Amino acid sequence: MKKAKLIGPFTQLLPMTGLSLKGAIADSELSVLEDSGILVEDRKIRSIGKFDILRNLHPKAEIFLLKGHNVGIPGFIDAHTHICFGGSRANDYAMRNAGKSYLEIAKAGGGIWDTVTQTRQATQEELVDGILERARWHLENGTTTIEVKSGYGLSLSEEIKMLRAIKEANLRSAADLVSTCLAAHILPKDFRGTAEAYLKAMGDQLFPILTKENLAHRIDAFIEESAFSSEQISPYLQKAKAMGFSITVHADQFTTGGSEVAVQFGAISADHLEVSGEEEIRLLAQSDTIATALPGATLGLGCSFAPARRILDAGGVLVIASDHNPGSAPMGNLLVQATLIGVFEKLSNAEVLAGITFRAAAALGLSDRGQLAEGFLADFLVFPTGHYNEILYHQGSLGPSRVWKKGELVCDKNK
Ligand code: NIG
Ligand code: FE
């Protein structure tokens, strides 16, 4: 067993504990520990408390002394990304800003299919390198757990290639990568058959391989006019559910319908929600399905934000994720995006931070992270400031100076 480590003192420590999973959170509900330390042992947090008391109680612990003002907070969790891809869609971006719509560009040969073509041209090893590079960048910006979807392969062998690349990257990345199969992203242009036949083939052939090779425990589907209808996707999700996969849905991005399917199938999350209205908000809030807003897609496409304020006020669970992908959300910076949806949707700092920590952990079904408490993974960030309000105030321009992942210092900007 490795020697225990004591890190501190933190001017303020935000453990993000004792907060409700659902509904609005006032900033006054945040517990803020002053002059505290984190005692780490075997990748986990052994104890949190006043730094001086912990130092006296554990005289043999190795001390990592923080100088000046520092705020400690759980490592961020990005519950929705597509960081496994080949190529670039800078041309789509330019065309959109010059007046073409996302759907017009897709019909003209750009869009998701363009990235499928470019991803198919990449070798598995090239995809691994791309994921590792992006995951490292996310880690340096404070994200210690990253969900990564397939969905740019769209054939049996190409989806397997993507998911193997994600699995391999996870073994080599300091950040944890959680894979999700998005074979139901769009109907691939080269599939000879109907959407129903494509989904059936994927369910019959791909799902057993996912289990056998331990490639993914989560199945995602894009429910949209330009992708799959509620009717087309239902048998696919039914099969996924029967085989024990956890379900998540790209829902209500341009047209409604997806969130209803998500709730009907007991999905762990419904993501996007830019066009969700009263009915969709009510359905989500009354269910156990987590509502995940993707402000990166709002900023990438120049459309509206998901109705995050109304979701919280209705009693829903709001998670904020980056949707980092080459098409609709090329920026990727979760902290910038979380702070901006907070500004436009009038979210308390507590709600924004909850959406990228413990609530995001729940969206991935992970109960071992997202909070700083005994027994949780020692994933935490240090921001070089004396007050936690400064973190969101700087709108992403103040990044973490240090990042600990499973008790190891994996990024240190002080060096
Ligand atoms: O989450 N909406 C569908 N899928 C992705 C976009 C992927 C792309 O444009 O390449 C999204 O925004
Ligand atoms: Fe997405």
Q: List, for residues 293-305, the tens digit of each pLDDT value.
A: 999 999 999 999 9
**Confidence bin at 102 (pLDDT 50/70/90):** confident
**pLDDT at residue 82, as a whole number:** 99
For range 165-172, the mean pLDDT: 99
**Confidence bin at 109 (pLDDT 50/70/90):** confident
Counting atoms of ligand 1 from 1, which one is nearest the CA of 80?
1
- The percent of residues in the chain predicted with pLDDT above 90, rounded, is 96
Measured distance CA(70)–CA(383) in Å, rounded:
6
From the number of C-beta atoms within 10 Å of its C-beta (0-12, 13-18, 19+), residue 332 rates as buried
pLDDT of 361-408, one tens digit each? 999 999 999 999 999 999 999 999 999 999 999 999 999 999 999 999
Residue 231 Cα to ligand 2 middle (Å): 21
Residue 405 Cα to ligand 1 middle (Å): 29
pLDDT of 227-253, one tens digit each? 999 999 999 999 999 999 999 999 999
**pLDDT at residue 275, as a whole number:** 98
Which residues have CB under 6 Å of ligand 1? Answer: 82, 111-112, 115, 222, 250, 253, 297, 323, 325-329
Q: Cα torsion at 22, 27, 30, 31 (round to 10°)?
A: -160
**pLDDT at residue 203, as a whole number:** 98
Residue 39 Cα to ligand 2 middle (Å): 37
Counting atoms of ligand 1 from 1, which one is nearest the CA of 300?
12
Mode of pairing for the β-strands spanning 71-74 and 5-13: parallel
**pLDDT at residue 108, as a whole number:** 84
Q: What is the pTM of this model?
A: 0.98
**pLDDT at residue 107, as a whole number:** 82
Counting atoms of ligand 1 from 1, which one is nearest the CA of 297?
12
Q: What is the CA radius of gyration of the chain?
A: 21
**pLDDT at residue 415, as a whole number:** 84
Residue 250 Cα to ligand 2 middle (Å): 6
**Confidence bin at 358 (pLDDT 50/70/90):** very high
Please, what are the domains in the chain?
A: 5-74+371-412 (2.30.40.10), 77-363 (3.20.20.140)
Distances (CA, A) of 364 to 162, 164, 356, 391: 20, 19, 12, 24
Measured distance CA(372)–CA(369) in Å, rounded:
8
Q: With H, G, I as helix, E, B as strand and everything else as coil, classify residue 320.
A: strand
Q: With H, G, I as helix, E, B as strand and everything else as coil, classify residue 230.
A: helix
Does residue 1 register a pLDDT over 70?
no
